[in-house]
Structure 1
Amino acid sequence: MKRMIAPLILGLAAAPVLMPAATAFAQQQQSDLSRVSAYIRGVTTMTANFTQTDRNGQTLTGKLTIKQPGKIRFQYQKGVPLLIVGDGKALTMIDYEVRQVQRWPIGNSPLGALIDPSKDLSKFGKVIQTGDPSVISVQARDPRRPEFGTITMIFKRDPSGPAGLQLYGWVALDSQNNRTSVRLSNQAYGVPVADSTFRWTDPRPKGRAAGG
């Protein structure tokens, strides 16, 4: 599978000198983290179109489907023989071209911060300043398990979205230091999503996976 990288640079502003300003900044950070946590808890189901861009500027597109807790599906564009599915416990990547299946716990992936509403984001997330008050960028990383990678989630303030936010996309860095960027569009929340959406057909010769 091609690894995707985003031409995304997030600027860090200088820390305020005055203590009151520093306190206000810390309070704003906590408020933004709480809002992002409320967004994640508020998403029961979500569908969106996604675009991945690699370091050469090449893109792949497809449809993203989320159903909490822990279910996610990346259905790639026609002609791309890849499928990524999360069933609530594990993420599975299926490559139908080479008939290969890879599976790992959701908690071992940066995506766990996005699709596990039971996690306390305040313990492993931090706000990254963007210079745009309409945008909240949160970087999540488990300090006890850095090998699980990092995800930087990008939200836009939008009163029509859960907790007043709209997920714009994210940049993930996995345990092999591979970057993947995802940009979303046409987000829809609370739409009916059947559990069968997160089943998949095993391409390996010996049979089908449970959930085929």
Structure 2
Amino acid sequence: MTKRILYVFVAIALAVYAGAASAQQLSLNQISTYLNGLQTAQGGFTQINADGTLSTGQIYIKRPGRIRFEYNAPDDTMVLAGGGQLAVFDPRSNTGPERYPLRSTPLSIILRENVNLGAENMVTNVSFDGTSTTVTAQDPENPQYGNIQLVFTANPIELRQWIVTDDLGTQTTVILNDLVAGAAIRDVLFNIQAEMRRRGN
């Protein structure tokens, strides 16, 4: 566990160092344009869970409305968003995935077809630490669903991590690494029914 925590801090430090020389605060318009241009992306992630434990895996994004988290062994958990639903597959369950409307989760903010962080009451806070710009956003029509803090570096603009705070106040941090934009990603990766069949649910 100590080695895994050290890995997370080293990854953050490298990201900070890489952006330090050309750091600048990003505008909401620049960030919205970047997210709207991010049609597909894939890479690795490290997740810091609410209880302090760590998980790693691969992430696939296909906007609008689709995201996939594949967790590395020995964890066989998977989180899929597709068809307006977010499904959480727990290998310990034999009753199928837990499902939620995607619109009721903070992830819907970055997965919607048209991201407009300049919309009224969408952004509740913007900060700049000299290296990265952090934007806290919520669904202005449903602030009770929680919020998402998005961390970006500039030159070129890149999404580095996010922190999701759900409707219960629980926080989950996802640190992205080696995120590659423009990848060809098959639609079946976001098909909840196909994943259910694969798992025999």
Q: Report if TM-score (shorter chain) is over 0.5.
A: yes
State the shift of 1:79 in Å.
1.4
1:183 paired residue among 175, 179, 188: 175
2:148 to 141, 146, 151: 151
Post-superposition CA distance 1:50-95 (Å, at most 9, x none): 0011355421000000011111000001111211001141111111
Q: Is 1:129 aligned with 2:127?
A: yes
Shift in alpha-carbon separation, 1:38–1:119, aligned structure 2, 3 A: closer
Matched pairs, number? 175
Greater per-residue helix proportion: 2
The CA distance in 2 between the partners of 1:108 and 1:158, in whole Å, is 33
Which amino acid in 2 is paired with 1:128?
V
Q: Which has the larger radius of gyration?
A: 1
1:135 and 1:76, CA in 2 relative to 1: closer, same or farther beyond 3 A? same
Alignment of 1:104-115 (within 5 A): 104-115=100-111
Q: Aligned-pair RMSD on alpha carbons?
A: 2.6
CA contact (8 A) 1:37 1:117 kept: no
Which deviates the most, 106-115 or 120-129?
A: 120-129
What's the TM-score, normalizing by structure 1? 0.74
Structure 2: distance between partners of 1:85 and 1:56: 22
Q: Which runs of 5+ in 1 are unaligned?
A: 1-6, 8-27, 160-164
For the residue of structure 1 that corresponds to 2:98, the secondary structure is: strand
User: 1:68 aligns to what?
Assistant: 63
The equivalent of 2:35 in structure 1 is 40
Greater Cα offset, 191-200 or 66-75: 191-200
**Which residue does 2:196 correspond to in 1?**
202
Overall identity of the aligned pairs, in %? 28
Asked if residue 102 in structure 1 is aligned to residue 98 in structure 2, the reply is yes
Shift of the alpha carbon at 1:169?
0.6
- Summarize deviations over 1:130-163 as a string: whole Å, max 9, x none: 321x41111111243122110000011132xxxx
Is this contact kept in 1: 2:109–2:139, CA < 8 A?
no
SS at match of 1:121: coil
